[in-house]
Structure 1
């Protein structure tokens, strides 16, 4: 089910205070907030990220080389913010900066990265910042 823009805004407004509250929370409150954040991320379409999503193809599975008569234009280079996000460079940011990074990634969604990529980065950030919630 695709969310409308208003539904995304509503869920985003619910998510932002939770991320801010998680920064100062301790113990069970932090775990509860982490679960609420995860539930909202899933509602926003980020899905669940598992290790199986990161599997690499077998050595005998190769992509055929591009030929001169391929009609597709070459893929543009990934923006620096996308490459850094996919490399995990943002997992140590505080919650405000990480929220801003997610907002900056929005124009590149479905072009240079997928919702699963964003969810994976968000999950990695949550595990790094709140290990007891993971």
Structure 2
């Protein structure tokens, strides 16, 4: 459980900055929707391949949803979707951190109880050996 929760936490910590970056870009495009001045930018085609682009009065954006799926949204819908995803991811991250704290407490409790049970068993075996040998117990 701890490994799964750690992986979930790491995934969320990686995902949240990406969502924030996308949301900032969509908000920037929303600010520029009614401007006459076009936006000149570079966009990534591949890891090291970029292309120049000029964006005039943006109305729609495409968002990667995962699993090789991209959907086109209006700018306001994209803002709502990304805001909801960001708040959901932050809440999930908080839950994962709380779960990890709880799991660590439970693991510590389990280890202490295991050690106590083992020590009790060792003590009982000594007593049984002493009684079997006829020695008085201390």
The TM tier, using the shorter chain, reads: under 0.3
Indicate the structure (1 or 2) with the bigger Cα radius of gyration. Answer: 2
TM-score (norm 1): 0.26
Q: Which has the higher strand share?
A: 2
